[in-house]
Amino acid sequence: MDLPIFPRPGDKNTCNLREAVANPNIIVGDYTYYHDFDDPLKFQEKNVLYHYPVNNDRLVIGKFCSIAHGAKFLFNGGNHKQDSCVNYPFAIFGALWEHDLGVTESWDNKGDIVVGNDVWIGFEALIMAGVTIGDGARIGSRSIVTRDVPPYTVVGGAPAKPIKQRFSDEDVLFLDEIQWWNWPEERIKRNLGLLMGDIAALKQALADEPLFMERAEESVS
């Protein structure tokens, strides 16, 4: 699906992120947006850091995510090897130290950064390499996320710690089952009032309309 780079007429500070990145190792889902007070189109350059091709690590962001100004994703090339006797990354200075070590021996590779669907990432949050953020999570402003975040969990602080779960376990299971972000666009449009409202009302609407639930299940199969 081709989306406009700028989804809001007259707003050049908010972009559909998928349309603004070219790196094949940055994978962004439909409708995910990034807001920047300066230039959101520089996201790949300014917000995805130490993302060297030699590592082949990926930034994977799901659908319908909201990413605030200055949120950054710090990749493996920014690490220094933890089990080394020294902090200094000798391996990246082959010509100076006359060795044949591989450059990647200077750092630990913790893997990809994976962000689920409908995740909100606050102002100037920092997401570290190897972290997975579950669907529906919220990352507080200026948080430093060093560990995985469960779905529908609010985290904050440095390092980020769980503050609360947004919904009950039952409601989290319900949202995981319907996966509204995979519904066709027209179905989402018809149900915006419910999606933007109380979860109890959404559950009741689906309970009152069994075929609605069946269609939702078909859309994710």
Active site residues: 80
Question: How far apart are alpha carbons 41 and 180 in whole angstroms?
Answer: 28
Question: pLDDT band at residue 209, thresholds of 50, 70 and 90?
Answer: low
Give the C-alpha distances (Å, rounded to integers) separating 174 from 52, 169, 170, 177, 202. Answer: 39, 9, 6, 5, 10
The average pLDDT across 183-201 equals: 94
Question: Does the pLDDT at position 215 exceed 60?
Answer: no
pTM of the model: 0.90
pLDDT tens digit sequence for 22-65: 999 999 999 999 999 999 999 999 999 999 998 899 999 999 99
Q: What is the pLDDT of residue 208?
A: 72
Q: 14-166 has which CATH code?
A: 2.160.10.10
In the predicted structure, residue 221 carries a pLDDT above the cut 90: no
Whether residue 194 contacts residue 203, with contact meaning beta carbons closer than 8 Å, is answered with no
Domain ranges of the chain: 14-166, 168-221
pLDDT tier, 220 (very low <50, low <70, confident <90, very high otherwise):
very low
Place of tokens 């070590």: 101
pLDDT band at 207 (very low <50, low <70, confident <90, very high): confident
